[in-house]
Structure 1
Amino acid sequence: MNSLKTNYNIVIVLFVSIFSFQTNAQSAAVDQLHQLYIQTINTGDPGNLNTLYTDNVSIRNSDGSLLTGLNNVKKQYQATFDNGKYDITLKTIEEQDLNEDYMFVSGSFVFTKIDEPEAVQRGTFVNILKNIDGEWKIYKSYRYPEITNIKSIVDGLYKSFAQGDIPSVLEAMDEEIIWNEAEGNAYADGNPYIGPEAVLKGVFERVGAEHEYFKLDDIELHEMSNNQVLATLRYDAKVKETGKTYNAQVAHLWTIRDGKVSAFQQYVDTKKLNDAMSK
């Protein structure tokens, strides 16, 4: 019985030792990749990209654009390096072994254009590493910008709207934005509007076509929890068909995700709007 217990303990010790060795080896591989990536950025030398990435790598950039394939990744890096010199620091937040062929790594980055010290990008990354013939490489990479002031995103959106720059307003929206007009509003018939194109066709174009003027006044922004901004304001508008004007109290609730507007909810005095639109 003692012999059986001794053998059992030996197995446990061997298992723990093997697991510890694998974990340390993977951590070392992650650190090696990060150091190689830092060297690539800081020297502006794209020669290490074959070692860093798999041939079928995909990268989601901080601006939301997507790259697929090593050749396209090389072109992006070369264009970046042609535009100046850069410095980057990385900090690993979490490493997790998915199986013997894949590993999850998350962390944070600070990316600086050396000749423009104010041009600093901060954010987080999530990488899926793949074991290729005993070498760990980046298979998928997702990069997310740090949102330091979500009020500024909403403020910029209102300023673009005031200038009639609707393309910039749409650009500030997530591709799958969920937009809801206040219940009882004539434009709520398409709720929820999904995506910028739906908002453009279902709301903006109709408002523009049906109003002689439509202005947003007395805008005040209030940063909330959960990446939300509450805007209190007034609509000052005139309806073309009826010639009636209205000045209505309004609230907009904006939700920001990854630097883009992911959701919008309008609250408004719908009676004033409907009275103005009714003959």
Structure 2
Amino acid sequence: MRTAYDVVKAHYDANDRRDMDGMLADIAPDCRWTEMAGFPCAGTYVGRDEIFRNVFLALGEMFDAYSFKLERLLDAGEDVVAIGVYNGTNKRTGKDFTARVVHVWGVAGDKIRRFEQFTDTWRVVESMH
């Protein structure tokens, strides 16, 4: 069985390939995915369909070249912490942004059970105005 670190690393590897199916592959049906208050798609979404629609699809509709660049991935047993940077260009305003970000993942039974994002929401929202 893969470790939690392996499961999360596979998600980021799929992200680097722009492979949405790969990014969603290990998300449990009851996964609770939380985007930080103040972020454009803030909220907690449960399961692949809600996560895809309210996070990945929503961000793609708002931003061109939206990306996450992983800098460090920290193994904490069933929890994994990712540190990196978001970048993108708002489609409506044409303004770019860069924001530091931390993702905290919870993995059990070879599936992602929870995700929580911590980021500088102001940098992202500022690009929208």
Q: 2:50 aligns with which of 171, 184, 198?
A: 198
Matches within 5 A, 1:198-277: 198-225=50-77, 227-277=78-128
Which of the pair has more CA radius of gyration? 1
Query: Is contact 2:70-2:82 (8 Å) kept?
Result: no
Q: In structure 2, what is the Cα distance between the partners aligned to 1:218 and 1:176?
A: 25
Q: Provide, for residues 135-171 of structure 1, a one-character-per-residue CA deviation record: whole Å limited to 9, x for no partner.
A: xxxxxxxxxxx44x32121111011112121111111
Which structure 1 segments of 5+ residues have no match?
Answer: 1-145
SS for the counterpart of 2:37 is: coil
Displacement, 1:272?
0.3
Task: Within 5 Å, give how 1:45-84 maps onto structure 2.
Answer: none
Q: Could you tell me whether the CA contact under 8 Å between 2:34 and 2:115 is conserved in 1?
A: yes
- Which structure has more relative contact order (CA 8 Å, sep 6+)? It is 2
Distance 2:40 2:59 in 1: 10
Identity in percent: 24
Query: Number of matched residues?
Result: 129
Partner of 1:108: none
The alignment status of 1:159 with 2:13, answered yes or no, reads: yes
Greater strand fraction, Structure 1 or Structure 2: 2
Give the alignment's TM-score, normalised by structure 1. 0.45
| CA distance in structure 2 between the partners assigned to 1:221 and 1:206 by the alignment | 25
Q: Which runs of 4+ in 1 moved over 4 A?
A: none
Counterparts of residues 82-161 of structure 1 (less than 5 Å): 146-147=1-2, 149-161=3-15
CA distance in 2, matches of 1:176, 1:150: 17
Measure, in 1, the Cα distance between the counterparts of 2:75 and 2:39.
26
Aligned letter for 1:249?
R
| Cα pair 2:97 2:127 within 8 Å, conserved | yes
1 CA distance for matches of 2:60 and 2:54?
Answer: 11
Q: For 1:272 and 1:259, locate their aligned partners in 2 and report how far apart those are by CA, in whole Å.
A: 34
User: Using the alignment, how far apart are the partners of 2:99 and 2:69 within structure 1?
Assistant: 10
Computed over aligned residues only, the root mean square deviation of the Cα atoms, in angstroms, reads 1.2
Q: Give the C-alpha shift of residue 218 in structure 1.
A: 4.0
SS of residue paired to 1:159: helix
Deviations 1:95-139 (A, max 9, x none): xxxxxxxxxxxxxxxxxxxxxxxxxxxxxxxxxxxxxxxxxxxxx
Structure 2, unmatched stretches of 5+, are: none
TM-score (norm 2): 0.94
